[in-house]
């Protein structure tokens, strides 16, 4: 009883902002498309804010930079690329090469193929990320079996990158090993781009929550910190999320090891890559009109959600 009381007191009164729940998510269960609790048809994902720099070809230079990333690096590996916002790469279409919209994945079904060059440990980490989406959302990643639209998870020396939303046909998500597959959160991050989401700090209201230190940003990378147009974005009912797996780290694109993003809320850490935040999950489920209830796995998750989930602006990882 004393142990339970201590644990109960810890959950209620500690200042913990992110409390992962210990669960077994290593197995991916393939669910038939008819079992998805998703309403509605496809709709457009606005990518007009990305600009012409988002359209191009993979770069070995970005891969060489990401190859230098280690666990002790100040920034995340996807923040080291030379693509739009570091890791967004849209294929060119026709002569002008640009598009303003992509699509949501039909019925939340995402066919996939995984490159055979990954080690077992690296592939298992990818599958753990996929398992998180199955456990927490209505999205279903299914092995590719002839579908026209699908993602190919590749391991080439071009860094960490993805397109945003479903672009039609085969689309690539590059997760260069080992850097881009070292943390489950980096995999979740790139897959969230493919699902249809942009970076958290590009939200139009971000200046109310963080301060961008432009004097510390590498020359030429300033455009990575531009904000999306408020008239062309939608927050899916989720307020600004410091703990989103889609948020830049505090040292993203720093030229001098000084912070480029400073949170206005005291003691907040940015750029976690351990797992989806509750805000991430809610946004995915709202975008895809998923009827799945917000998860409260385990007694710790239940207590935290009941007592803290709706009373704090800090989004808890799950």
Catalytic residues: 190
The answer for 314, left when phi > 0, alpha when psi is -120 to 50, beta otherwise, is: beta
Residues 181 and 143 sit within 8 Å (Cβ to Cβ) = no
Residue 144 assigned to a binding site: no
Cβ-based neighbours of 285, under 8 Å, separated by 6 or more: 137, 138, 292, 294
| Alpha helix (H) residue ranges in the chain | 2-13, 60-66, 120-136, 184-195, 278-287, 298-304
Rounded to whole angstroms, the Cα distance separating 191 from 198 reads 11
Residue 193 assigned to a binding site: yes
DSSP per-residue string spanning 278-309: HHHHHHHHHHTTB-PPPP--HHHHHHHIIIII
Residue 189 assigned to a binding site: yes
Cβ-based neighbours of 177, under 8 Å, separated by 6 or more: 117, 118, 119, 122, 155
How many CB atoms are closer than 10 A to CB 21?
18
Cβ-based neighbours of 52, under 8 Å, separated by 6 or more: 97, 98
Half-sphere CA count of 193, side-chain side, radius 13 A: 31
Q: Which residues are annotated as a binding site for Zn(2+)?
A: 189, 193, 199
Q: Which residues are annotated as a binding site?
A: 189, 193, 199
């Amino acid at each position: 009883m004393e142990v339970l009381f201590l644990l109960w007191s810890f959950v209620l009164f500690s200042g913990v902002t992110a409390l992962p729940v210990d669960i077994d998510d290593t197995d991916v269960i393939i669910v038939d498309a008819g079992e998805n609790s998703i309403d509605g048809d496809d709709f457009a994902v606005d990518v007009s804010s990305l600009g012409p720099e988002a359209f191009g070809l993979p770069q070995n230079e970005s891969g060489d930079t990401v190859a230098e990333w280690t666990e002790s690096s100040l920034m995340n590996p996807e923040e080291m690329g030379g693509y739009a916002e570091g890791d967004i790469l849209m294929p060119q279409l026709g002569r002008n090469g640009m598009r303003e919209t992509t699509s949501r994945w039909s019925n939340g079904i995402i066919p996939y193929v995984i490159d055979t060059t990954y080690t077992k440990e690296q592939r298992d980490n990818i599958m753990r990320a996929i398992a998180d989406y199955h456990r927490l959302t209505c999205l279903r990643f299914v092995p590719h079996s002839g579908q026209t639209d699908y993602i190919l998870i590749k391991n080439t020396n071009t860094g960490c990158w993805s397109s945003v939303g479903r672009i039609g046909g085969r689309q690539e998500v590059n997760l260069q090993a080992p850097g881009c597959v070292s943390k489950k959160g980096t995999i979740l991050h790139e897959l969230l781009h493919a699902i249809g989401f942009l970076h958290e700090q590009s939200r139009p209201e971000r200046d109310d929550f963080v301060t961008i230190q432009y004097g510390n940003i590498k020359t030429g990378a300033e455009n990575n910190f531009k904000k999306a147009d408020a008239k062309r974005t939608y927050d899916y009912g989720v307020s600004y999320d410091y703990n989103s797996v889609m948020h830049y780290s505090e040292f993203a694109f720093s030229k001098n090891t000084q912070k480029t993003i400073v949170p206005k809320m005291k003691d907040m850490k940015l750029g976690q890559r351990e797992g989806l935040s509750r805000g991430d999950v809610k946004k995915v489920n709202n975008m895809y009109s998923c009827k799945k209830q917000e998860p409260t796995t385990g007694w710790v998750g239940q207590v935290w959600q009941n007592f803290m989930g709706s009373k704090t602006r800090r989004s808890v990882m799950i």
